[in-house]
Chains A and B, each alone.
Chain A
Amino acid sequence: MTSTERVLAIRDLSVNFGGLKALSKVNIDLHQGEVLGLIGPNGAGKTTVFNALSGLVTPASGSLELYGRKVKWPKPYQLVTNGIARTLQGVGLFPDLTVLENVMMGAHHLAKAGLTQSFLGLVEKDEGHLRELAQTALERVYVGSLAERRADTLAYPDTKRVAIARALVSQPKILLLDEPAGGLGPQDIEWFNGLVRNIKSHTSVIIVEHHMDVVMSICDRISVLNFGELIASGTKDEVRNNPDVIAAYLGSHKAGAK
């Protein structure tokens, strides 16, 4: 069940890459306690929506509302201060840093000590607090024992868990997950589904995922993009039976007709 309070509203979002329309007047709503699936064929524009929300691309037009307030499209460094965390398709860990340090980066905005405080010795407490938060986040995703390993020595499924820990440690109100199940085995996927169900009461989630079992298992609503346009939005059953969606996935309206 989801509450009705809207935490995010994207209106008429358009993004152009040169002459190519990557997104055209896309509308997306996310409510408190909701898991929204954002699906579509390759190149549909799903990750571009995340990139616009993250400030990695500049929208040609459109507006953004967060927690009931209209806001400017954020710069990348403003993402976490807006209460949003994101994981990336390519995992995106810092290879040179330890696992713990990678997760501490996610809590960076919670640190208060600057250079002056560092010299005054006030930093130890602050840094210790970040370490505690990061360790707790790692234990939450069952990789606490890997804290001191370098990130580039981890097995792939573990890197996914660390990336999720880094997102969760920022205590986000909204979590953007970009293909989190890609490359995971059935056990890891089952664990991941459980995690999302657990966190959604306090963290609303938008998930971009090709793994349809995951989408159908954990999403409350689904929005479907095709060639940069929103072609359907609704409950799982509504979307599953939408002829445009079937056509987008199978290649023709005829094929999609029930």
Chain B
Amino acid sequence: MDMLASLGDGFAIALTWQNIGLALLGCFLGTVMGALPGLGPSNGVAILIPLAFTLGLGATPSLILLTSVYYGAMYGGRISSILLGIPGDEPAMMTVLDGYPMAKKGMAGEALSLSGIASFVGAFIATWGLILLAPQLVKIALLFGPAEYFALFALAFMTLGGVSSTNQAKSAFAAALGLGLAMIGVDTQTGVPRFTFGEVHLYDGLDFLVAIVGLFALSEVLIFLEERHGSADADGKKIVVGRLTPSWSMLKSCTPTMLRTSLLGFLAGVLPGAGASLGSFISYSMEKRLVDKENTFGTGDPRGVAAPEAGNNAAAGGALVPMLALGVPGSGTTAVLLAVLLSLNITPGPLLFTQNPDVVWGLIAALFIANFMLLAMNIPMVGIFTRVLMIPPKVLMPLVAMVSFVGIYGISGSSFDLLVMIGFGVMGWGLRKLDVPLVPIILGTLLGNAMENNLRRAVTIDNGNWFTLVDSPLSIALWAIALIGFVLPLIIGARVKSKMHARKDEEGALSD
């Protein structure tokens, strides 16, 4: 009951004209970004952060805007998967398998509306899951001391490569690089400058927003410049949408699939190091095992469209659980959302639920509202978004670059930050070529200082005894999970990855 009362308060916060407008804007922009190949949820949100920030939006409105973008991108990814056979973002990869064949059979409209409904079911169930699970996780998290937090951060880094990672050395390298970048600036505890080389601009440390926008958005522009691909994809193909409502029998046959995969996807999202891409992958594989008796999966089976879409939207909701309850994100986009919270001076974690209940519950209420808006946008109005797919990269990519520059310049007004951002863009391009994941770098720059502070606090409390880090059952358990999470991909990673990427391997470094 307590929970429903809080949720009611949340709706009172979310239902202002400004917040509804922001949710609407976010849903629209998110769907567009998800639909456009080359822009996914993480770089979509990354571009918009500086804007939300410079517009002087408060914490709740900015979060409403950006999580609407996040949910919207999860919906939008399916549009180009179904119509063009190119995933709009990585989580929509599995939707191509059955969605594109359906479109070729002239059932594009049905595939779109069915996947829209599946997305809705997935996101709706996941949002309830978030409400039920997050407060429980908070109760556990309240038992955490600095040593446990240090272990938790280590766990986040060690599992972030994900089960699909093939090269854990590169994940570890990325995490260490991010942590190292976070060390730049004046040490918060003793006040001595570190790694600043006398440059005054660096005393404050690197602004992680600059790093995020450079790594995610600018590197994408550079990849497009290098390959110049995609320009031919959008033109030349005639898009026929056809009938927009799926038949009742189709909906009925897909309902069990949607419910099962929503739960599975949600769990995949909550677990560290999984995220939406894995959520849609395991949902599809499970349904293929369970219901594909006549071997119709892969040839345009509606259930093969519903499964990955329900799975990835549920995983997107699930990934918010550890981010809000523990302050440790499990996926790329939630890491970017964490950056929003941190730059608004809100520390996520167990205290968030007691200190800023308005933010948490307002956000959750906004997720429900956004979900209904997205359902409305994605079924009757899907035609608008199919037209958006016609924007060629030669217009889109300069726009992305310029909006990134505007956003960063708007925050600081200094050319120095723009140069740092270009530096990160070049670095992101090189690292993506070398298959080094970018998300651990972002997470490292975000969490580096908090991680170090917890380490120092823990050791100082125990008079300089370093073994205090593995002194409680809770922290030993966390270290054990971290270790398993790090070693497991070494054994099964190659297999999972080759299955996931059997069709498309382009945005590997930008998973989620």
**A and B interact physically:** no
